[in-house]
Amino acid sequence: MPKGMFLRSNWTATQIACPNGDLTLEAFQKERQVSFGLPVPIDQFIQYGLWYQNRAVPDLERKRISRIEKGGQGFILHTQDGEKFESRRVVVAGGISSFARRPEEFRTLPAELATHTNEHRDFAGFSGKKVLVVGCGQSALESAALLHEAGAQVEVVARSRRIHWLQGWASTTLHHRMGKLTRRILYAPTDVGPAGLSQLLARPHLVRVLPRGVQDRLRKRATRPAGARWLVNRLRDIPITLNCPVAASKSSGGHVTVRLKDESEKVVDHVLLGTGFHIDVSKYDFLAPELLAQIGRVNGFPILKDGLESSVSGLHILGAPGVHCFGPLLQFVSGTDFASKSLLRCLSRSGPSR
Ligand SMILES: Cc1cc2nc3c(=O)[nH]c(=O)nc-3n(C[C@H](O)[C@H](O)[C@H](O)COP(=O)(O)OP(=O)(O)OC[C@H]3O[C@@H](n4cnc5c(N)ncnc54)[C@H](O)[C@@H]3O)c2cc1C
Answer whether residue 173 shows pLDDT above 90. Answer: no
pLDDT recorded at residue 141: 98
Q: Confirm if 75 and 69 have CB atoms less than 8 A apart.
A: yes
State the distance from the centre of ligand 1 to the C-alpha of 180, rounded, in angstroms.
Answer: 32
Residue 43 belongs to some domain of the structure: yes
The angle at the Cα of 9, spanning 321 to 230, to the nearest 5 degrees, equals 130
- Cβ of 332 closer than 6 Å to ligand 1, yes or no, is yes
Answer whether residue 354 shows pLDDT above 60. Answer: no
Which residues, 6 or more positions from 181, have their beta carbon under 8 angstroms from its beta carbon?
A: none
Q: Which domain holds residue 158?
A: 101-163+226-273
pLDDT bucket at 177, cuts 50 / 70 / 90: low
State the distance from the centre of ligand 1 to the C-alpha of 98, rounded, in angstroms.
Answer: 10
Mutational pocket test of ligand 1: of 43, 48, 96, the residue with most ligand atoms within 8 Å of the beta carbon:
96
Cα–Cα separations (whole angstroms), residue 290 to 39, 183, 287, 312: 43, 49, 8, 11
Answer whether residue 169 shows pLDDT above 70. Answer: no
Greatest alpha-carbon span in the chain: 64
Answer whether residue 353 shows pLDDT above 60. Answer: no
CATH number at residue 241: 3.50.50.60
Answer whether residue 32 shows pLDDT above 80. Answer: yes
Which residue is closest in CA terms to ligand 1's atom 36?
94
Mean pLDDT, residues 340-352 taken together: 90
Residue 306 belongs to some domain of the structure: no
Mean pLDDT, residues 44-51 taken together: 98
The angle at the Cα of 278, spanning 284 to 114, to the nearest 5 degrees, equals 95
Residues 21 and 147 in one domain: no
Residue 347 belongs to some domain of the structure: no
Residues 105 and 159 in one domain: yes
- Cβ of 65 closer than 6 Å to ligand 1, yes or no, is yes
Residues 16 and 139 in one domain: no
pLDDT recorded at residue 175: 63
pLDDT recorded at residue 352: 58
- Cβ of 62 closer than 6 Å to ligand 1, yes or no, is no
**What average pLDDT does the chain have?**
94
pLDDT recorded at residue 72: 82
Residues 29 and 159 in one domain: no
Residue 230 belongs to some domain of the structure: yes
Tally of structural domains, the chain: 2
Answer whether residue 180 shows pLDDT above 80. Answer: no
CA distance 251 to 268: 10
Residues 20 and 155 in one domain: no
Residues 25 and 156 in one domain: no
- Listed as own residue / partner, the contacts of 320-326 with beta carbons closer than 8 Å and 24 or more positions apart are 320/95, 320/96, 320/99, 320/277, 320/279, 321/279, 321/281, 323/219, 323/223, 323/279, 324/215, 324/219, 324/279, 324/298, 324/299, 325/208, 325/301, 326/204, 326/205, 326/207, 326/208
Least confident of 5-9, 43-47, 181-185, 339-343: 181-185
Nearest alpha carbon to residue 137 among 41, 42, 231: 231
pLDDT bucket at 172, cuts 50 / 70 / 90: low
* Entry field: residues in the chain: 354
State the distance from the centre of ligand 1 to the C-alpha of 107, rounded, in angstroms.
Answer: 25
